[in-house]
Amino acid sequence: MKTGLSTTTLADQVEEKIIEYIKENHLVPGDSLPNEMQFSEMLGTSRNVVREALSRLRMLGLIQSRTKRGIVVTEPPLLNGFKKVLDPNLLSIKTIKEMMGMRIALEIGIAEFLFANITEKKIEELEQIVSRQQAIGINNLSVEDEMIFHTKIYEIAGNDFILQFNRIMHPVFEFSKQNYESYFQPVNEKLNEKGDIIQHTDLLRFIKNSDKEGYQKAMQKHLKPYWEFLYNYD
Amino acid sequence: MKTGLSTTTLADQVEEKIIEYIKENHLVPGDSLPNEMQFSEMLGTSRNVVREALSRLRMLGLIQSRTKRGIVVTEPPLLNGFKKVLDPNLLSIKTIKEMMGMRIALEIGIAEFLFANITEKKIEELEQIVSRQQAIGINNLSVEDEMIFHTKIYEIAGNDFILQFNRIMHPVFEFSKQNYESYFQPVNEKLNEKGDIIQHTDLLRFIKNSDKEGYQKAMQKHLKPYWEFLYNYD
DNA sequence: TTGTTACATTTGTCCTACAAATAGAATTAA
DNA sequence: TTAATTCTATTTGTAGGACAAATGTAACAA
């Protein structure tokens, strides 16, 4: 099969075929695949092409290869590819806004799980985080401090996937705050003047009072700058 | 550089190096990269290895290659990799539960945007969808019908990323409902007995009444079976 | 039975060669 | 001079062969 160049390359097709092979044969993590030469013969392409396709699947975590043992299917870490691709420099404004929307939706929606899982012990841990941050003062809060609180919330909610997802998205928000500082600055100041700023200590109060709706409203306000950016920038 | 086998292969390293190259040189979509031979010489590896690495990035959508023109950076579709990896057969129960949690959080959190963007026209469109489904009867609702309503909600919320994300996750829920039918069946029956089932028509009522909190509570109930599975299965 | 050695298989890497596409230069036509 | 055409050099896509390194397996020894 010595075809020329085209929009879809042989590697693309072989990648697709291998994924099909896994699905059709109902292979699950631990099962082994044909080796490179066998695929090469099965699909009528060079070993090179097969290797390119396998290399992609290996990167995604769908398979692992080991000498002599061959290729085995593995349970993939779902966000491998997402992480590699999420370079703020490469994202359009539209995409950045959508990520902020995702963040807002998740922070509010996760409250369902937060309030279902909350315990005295967790409240204490949150209190420690908050009091440390109160001591620092709101204006001196580093991006890490901001992150620590919210990460703790996700942790309590008990969903590793969402936690991981947020970790990956986080650099985008950091980048945005810096890159669009001239926008965020006045927005924050205006909110400050109106005394409309919700801090972590406020959020914690709602948690202690078991007031889920209150918490969700407060979180909405806490993330107001993002919301403003999303709807009003440009 | 003719080294032996190792946990991290040359292709892994070269992939990393190329990503570094893009970041360090602040390349943005449209900018072009060195060609395969140049990378090969820069990094001291064979063209084969470079091609494997490039093939991965091409799959993610980070770059595009064209004869003679070489390689250019592109804005990647963020969920390319995620989509390829999300085969329900390969997922552990833990992961499936986490996806359900993600779904619940998003459906509730997205209400913020739904109620911010809702218009008369959109309400009408929702009404058409719902009345068609009422005619069919709740017990004859296909999975597509279920999907159509929720997709419309996401569409109104106006976040393409979340919309796409849900499209990708959807097969997991389909798979689960079938695969764990023996669990979902009695749960649904119990909810039915208690008359505690929330249908799309109920959700729409809250939208018409501009009752966001009511909608969120109702959505929580609407997704109750997933919630039950998440917390009580196994 | 257990430990060691040798062998065969499979992945990882390198190299060379050529086909196909095409950007850009050279050439020709208007 | 400008526009259309042809040529050429470059670059990606694909093939196939070679060898190194790792390692499961079988043969062998204690």
pLDDT in tens, A152-176: 999 999 999 999 999 999 999 999 9
Q: Please give the pLDDT value at position B2.
A: 46
Give me the CA A172–C1' C24 separation in Å, rounded. Answer: 40
Which of the nucleotides in strand D have any atom less than 7 Å away from a protein CB atom?
A: 9-17, 20-24
A-chain residues near B110 (CB < 8 A): 105, 109
Three-state secondary structure call for residue A35? coil
A-chain residues near B85 (CB < 8 A): 60-62, 76, 78, 80-81
Structure tokens at B201: 């028509």
**B124 has pLDDT over 60:** yes
Residue with tokens 């993590």: A29
Nearest to B229 by CA among B54, B44, B100, B65: B100
Whether the complex's predicted ipTM is more than 0.85 is answered with yes
Average pLDDT over residues B51-65: 98
Nearest CB among B90, B102, B107 relative to A75 is that of B90
Quickly name the fold that domain A10-73 has: Arc Repressor Mutant, subunit A (1.10.10)
Burial B91-120 (b: 16+ CB within 10 A, else e): beeebbbbbbbbbbbbbbbbbbbbbeebee
Q: Please give the pLDDT value at position A2.
A: 47
Give the pLDDT of chain A (234 residues) as one tens digit per residue: 544 556 899 999 999 999 999 999 999 999 999 999 999 999 999 999 999 999 999 999 999 999 999 999 999 999 999 999 999 899 999 999 999 999 999 999 999 999 999 999 999 999 999 999 888 877 777 788 889 999 999 999 999 999 999 999 999 999 999 999 999 999 988 988 888 889 999 999 999 999 999 999 999 999 999 999 999 998
What percent of chain B clears pLDDT 90, i.e. is strictly above it? 85
Which of the nucleotides in strand C have any atom less than 7 Å away from a protein CB atom?
A: 8-16, 19-23
d(CA A83, CA A64) in angstroms, rounded, equals 19
Give me the CA B208–C1' D19 separation in Å, rounded. Answer: 72
B-chain residues near A107 (CB < 8 A): 109
Strands (E), A2-84: 32-33, 63-66, 70-73
Q: Please give the pLDDT value at position B159.
A: 97
* Pair A92, B92: CB distance under 8 Å: no
Question: What amino acid occupies position B139?
Answer: N
Nearest CB among B51, B52, B99 relative to A161 is that of B99
d(CA A105, CA B168) in angstroms, rounded, equals 18
Beta-carbon count within 10 A of B157 CB:
23
Three-state secondary structure call for residue B118? coil
Is some CB atom of chain B closer than 8 A to the CB atom of A92? yes
Residues 104-163 of B with CB under 8 A from A: 104-113, 116, 157-162
Domains of chain B, by residue range, sit at 10-73, 81-232
| DSSP letter, residue A7 | S
d(CA B125, CA B147) in angstroms, rounded, equals 15
Q: Please give the pLDDT value at position B3.
A: 46
Structure tokens at A194: 């109106």
Q: How confident is the model at residue B142 (pLDDT cuts 50, 70, 90)?
A: confident
d(CA A213, CA A179) in angstroms, rounded, equals 33
Going across the sheet that includes B32-33, the strands are B32-33, B70-73, B63-66
Residues 170-229 of B with CB under 8 A from A: 213, 216, 220
* Pair B71, B64: CB distance under 8 Å: yes
C-alpha A204, offset from chain centre = 24
d(CA A160, CA A183) in angstroms, rounded, equals 33
d(CA A89, CA A179) in angstroms, rounded, equals 10
Interface contact B81-A84, CB threshold 8 A: yes
Nearest to B116 by CA among B153, B141, B79: B153
In chain B, how many H helices and how many E strands? 13, 3
Distance from CA of A181 to the nearest CA of B (A): 20
Which residues are CB-neighbours of B109 under 8 A, at least 6 positions away? A104, A105, A106, A107, A108, A109, A110
* Pair B59, B80: CB distance under 8 Å: yes
Dihedral sign for Cα atoms in the order B15, B19, B24, B25: positive
Pick the CATH number of B81-232 from 2.30.30.30, 1.20.120.530, 3.40.50.300, 1.10.3720.10: 1.20.120.530
Is some CB atom of chain A closer than 8 A to the CB atom of B59? yes
Beta bridge partners of A72: A32, A64
